């Protein structure tokens, strides 16, 4: 079976792009992202679950680019907010404004004590072959943590400065890329994808031949 040296990850988020570049490099692959295809037609994330949105993005961009594509839909589910912002994480307080989103989380959680600040980061990854939406490969990963009352750390990706991971005693924004990939929702999903994609890929290529 022949795995490609290059894969398109259908994301416009530079934080995700950075993490995927590193993780795929370890698997011997380089990636392109939507930042490399500025003219690609966009898609609205109208799904009702991480899985639906990841599938929507993967299928749309596989068709649009006529290439195999991986997509990630992810977000933060806060216990005390009944799972919000969840699939609305990117647009919780305004479109893709990380600072405003973080500020809104802090306001909504008010002065809740530490034992009521639990949260889950979720990532669903979908690998899609152009125009064959029924054979998507789907994996997911989750990690538990606590929402701090004050942001901590320099990594500027999304909710990372608020997400404290007790086993390492720091927030995702205070971790090295290796540390974060080692424990994160996206890292877990990625390792599940790595186990499954060679067989999946071979089956798609066989189908095409």
Ligand X SMILES: O=c1nc[nH]c2c1ncn2[C@H]1C[C@H](O)[C@@H](COP(=O)(O)OP(=O)(O)OP(=O)(O)O)O1
Q: What gap in Å lies between CA 9 and CA 21, rounded to an integer?
A: 9
Toward ligand X, which CB reaches closer, 29 or 43? 43
- Exposure string of 12-23, with b = 16+ CB inside 10 Å and e = fewer, is ebeebbebbbeb
The answer to whether residue 184 forms part of the interface with ligand X (CB under 6 A) is yes
The answer to whether residue 90 forms part of the interface with Mg ion (CB under 5 A) is yes
How many residues lie near Mg ion (CB under 5 A)? 1
When binding is defined by CB under 6 A, the residue of 8, 16, 148, 193 that contacts ligand X is 16
The answer to whether residue 87 forms part of the interface with Mg ion (CB under 5 A) is no
Name the binder of 9 from ligand X, Mg ion, none, CB < 5-8 A by kind.
Answer: none
Q: How far is the CB of 203 from ligand X (least distance, A)?
A: 26
Q: What gap in Å lies between CA 104 and CA 91, rounded to an integer?
A: 11
Q: Is 73 a catalytic residue?
A: yes
Q: In what order do the strands lie in the sheet with 118-128?
A: 30-33, 6-9, 69-78, 118-128, 137-147, 163-165, 170-171
The answer to whether residue 126 forms part of the interface with Mg ion (CB under 5 A) is no
Find the part of the chain contacting ligand X (CB under 6 A) among 12-20, 22-30, 61-69, 110-118. 12-20
Classify 49 as helix, strand or coil: coil
Q: What gap in Å lies between CA 16 and CA 114, rounded to an integer?
A: 28
The answer to whether residue 125 forms part of the interface with Mg ion (CB under 5 A) is no
- Residue 130's nearest CA partner among 201, 193, 65 is 65
* 37 within 8 A of 67, measured Cβ to Cβ: no
**What are phi and psi for residue 184, nearest 5 degrees?**
-80, 160
When binding is defined by CB under 6 A, the residue of 59, 72, 136, 174 that contacts ligand X is 72
The answer to whether residue 170 forms part of the interface with ligand X (CB under 6 A) is no
Which 78-107 positions form the footprint of ligand X (CB under 6 A)?
89-90, 101
Identify the DSSP state of 28.
T
The answer to whether residue 11 forms part of the interface with ligand X (CB under 6 A) is yes
Residue 166 annotated as part of some ligand binding site: no
Q: What gap in Å lies between CA 186 and CA 67, rounded to an integer?
A: 22
Q: Which x/- pattern over 43-62 shows residues binding ligand X (rule: CB under 6 A)?
A: --x-----------------
The answer to whether residue 56 forms part of the interface with Mg ion (CB under 5 A) is no
Q: Residues comprising the binding site for substrate?
A: 11-16, 74, 157-160, 180, 185-186
Active site residues: 73
Can you give the binding site for Mg ion, defined by CB under 5 A? 90
């Amino acid at each position: 079976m022949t795995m490609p040296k290059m894969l398109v990850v259908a994301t416009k988020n530079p934080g995700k792009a950075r993490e995927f570049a590193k993780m795929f490099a370890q698997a011997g692959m380089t990636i392109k992202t939507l930042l490399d295809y500025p003219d690609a037609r966009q898609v609205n994330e109208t799904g009702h679950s991480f899985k639906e949105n990841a599938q929507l993005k993967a299928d749309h961009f596989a068709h649009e680019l006529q290439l195999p594509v991986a997509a990630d839909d992810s977000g933060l589910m806060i216990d005390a907010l009944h799972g919000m912002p969840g699939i609305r994480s990117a647009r919780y307080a305004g479109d893709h404004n990380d600072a405003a989103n973080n500020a809104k989380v802090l306001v909504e959680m008010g002065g809740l004590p530490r034992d009521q600040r639990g949260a889950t980061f979720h990532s669903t990854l979908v690998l899609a072959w152009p125009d064959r939406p029924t054979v998507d490969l789907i994996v997911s990963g989750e990690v538990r943590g606590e929402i701090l009352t004050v942001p901590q750390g320099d990594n500027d990706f999304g909710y990372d400065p608020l997400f404290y991971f007790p086993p390492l005693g720091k927030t995702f924004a205070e971790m090295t890329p290796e540390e974060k990939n080692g424990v994160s929702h996206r890292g877990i999903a990625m390792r599940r994808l790595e186990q499954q994609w060679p067989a999946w890929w071979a089956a798609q290529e066989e189908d095409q031949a």
